[in-house]
């Protein structure tokens, strides 16, 4: 019988996953799995348990929680000699990476997809000595996801992030950064920068120009605006996918390796998959091509290199 290790964060999102645990496990058992369930006990417990599953003969790791819980599981899998596939049940407040994989929001439906689905190799990001599934970022609002308390997230859900962000508008600071990639060097002041492999960021910004397995990540850099009106135009450009990107202040390109060096006297704080990512002066980010398999159901919207999205080559031709 196949062995499944089920890591579940019982307080993720609005803590509703516990109400469906019985039905979820029942789906796995009906699918022919012997199931071991482990509720996470601390912030890094999911990483420890993922390593345990990889090294103890399990065939599949299933993670139920938010983006942070999934990211922790990736830490464990990437540090293991034997990497087993991941099934993901989104149970957080935003679940950005689940949208990229086309995973249903309903936990039981997601469990059924894991049983009937198939493994698809996806890229994993390297961030210094750690790993990430879909985003690392610095600058404006990046502290929101890890500084908003779990009780507030449980009460207000995704709206909690928006409310916290609005309170920070008056305190946006620019950071002078040296950015090196593919032989290019950028030296400028930025209020925000992110490296992503996802369809959605914080549940608000939608991205369609990406592939999950092309060995490259998408980079967005936002330069310091000169007045509040320009800041408003930049934010509108990012949140409205039908509006043309303001290329005077927003730079976009793809790469498989990039290094950010803070030229300010103080280091810059980063976020990794919605969690605190550290504040080193120099940060190197790179793509591990098709490093981990995720279990997905057949989905025509899944962004894989075998079926590139419309406009992919055209967009490359005009990037900075």
Task: Quote the CA–CA distance of 316 and 320 in Å, as a whole number.
Answer: 9
Mean pLDDT of the chain: 80
- Averaged over 64-92, what is the pLDDT? 94
Count how many residues are written for the chain. 320
Q: What are phi and psi of 200, to 5 degrees?
A: -155, 145
**Confidence label for 248 from pLDDT (cuts 50, 70 and 90):** confident
Can you give the pLDDT at residue 211? Answer: 82
Instruction: Please report how the helices 45-55 and 67-78 are oriented relative to each other, as an axis angle in degrees rounded to 10.
Output: 40
- Residue 147: what pLDDT? 43
* Terminal alpha carbon distance of the chain: 52
Q: Which DSSP state fits 110?
A: H
* Sign of the alpha-carbon torsion through 95, 101, 104, 107: negative
**Least confident window among 14-23, 230-239, 273-282, 307-316:** 307-316
pLDDT at 160: 40
Q: Tokens 């996953």 — which residue?
A: 17
Q: Residue 153: pLDDT above 50?
A: no
Helix segments in the chain, DSSP class H? 21-30, 45-55, 67-78, 96-101, 107-116, 144-147, 150-156, 159-166, 228-239, 312-318
The pLDDT value recorded for residue 244 is 58
**Which of 93-97, 103-107, 239-243 has the weakest average pLDDT?**
239-243
**Percentage above 90 pLDDT, the chain:** 47
Mean pLDDT, residues 4-26: 89
Q: Which domains does the chain carry?
A: 2-124 (3.40.50.10330), 132-288+309-318 (2.60.200.40)
Taking each helix axis as running N to C, give the angle between helix 107-116 and helix 21-30, from 0 to 180 degrees, rounded to the nearest 10.
10
Higher-confidence residue of 249 and 136: namely: 136
Question: Are the beta carbons of 260 and 138 closer than 8 angstroms?
Answer: yes
- The better pLDDT of the pair 314, 10 is held by 10
Q: How far apart are CA 118 and CA 295, in angstroms?
A: 5
How far is 250 from 201, CA to CA, in rounded Å? 16
């Amino acid at each position: 019988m196949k062995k499944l290790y089920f890591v579940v964060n019982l307080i993720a999102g609005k803590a509703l996953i516990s109400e469906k645990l019985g039905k979820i496990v029942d789906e796995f058992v009906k699918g022919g799995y012997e199931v071991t369930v482990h509720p996470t006990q601390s912030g890094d417990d999911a990483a420890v348990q993922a390593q345990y599953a990889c090294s103890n003969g399990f065939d599949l790791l299933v993670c139920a929680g938010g983006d942070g819980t999934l990211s922790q599981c990736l830490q464990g899998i990437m540090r293991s000699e034997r990497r087993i596939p991941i099934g993901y049940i989104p149970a957080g407040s935003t679940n950005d990476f689940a949208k990229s994989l086309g995973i249903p929001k309903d936990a039981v439906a997601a469990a059924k997809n894991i049983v009937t689905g198939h493994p698809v190799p996806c890229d994993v990001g390297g961030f210094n000595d750690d790993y990430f599934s879909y985003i690392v970022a610095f600058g404006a609002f990046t502290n929101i996801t890890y500084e908003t308390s779990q009780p507030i997230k449980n009460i207000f859900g995704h709206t909690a992030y928006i409310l916290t962000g609005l309170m920070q508008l008056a305190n946006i600071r620019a950071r002078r950064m040296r950015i090196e990639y593919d032989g290019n060097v950028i030296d400028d002041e930025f209020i925000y920068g992110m490296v992503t492999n996802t369809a959605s960021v914080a549940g608000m910004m939608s991205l369609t120009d990406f592939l999950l397995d092309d060995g490259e990540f998408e980079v967005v850099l936002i330069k310091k605006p000169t007045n509040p009106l320009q800041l408003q135009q930049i934010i509108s450009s990012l949140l409205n996918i039908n509006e043309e990107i303001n290329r005077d202040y927003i730079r976009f390109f793809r790469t498989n390796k990039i290094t950010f060096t803070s030229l300010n006297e103080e280091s810059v704080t980063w976020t990794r998959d919605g969690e605190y990512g550290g504040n080193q002066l120099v940060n190197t980010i790179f793509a591990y091509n098709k490093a981990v398999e995720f279990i997905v159901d057949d989905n025509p919207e899944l962004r894989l290199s075998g079926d590139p999205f419309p406009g992919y080559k055209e967009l490359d031709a005009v990037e900075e």
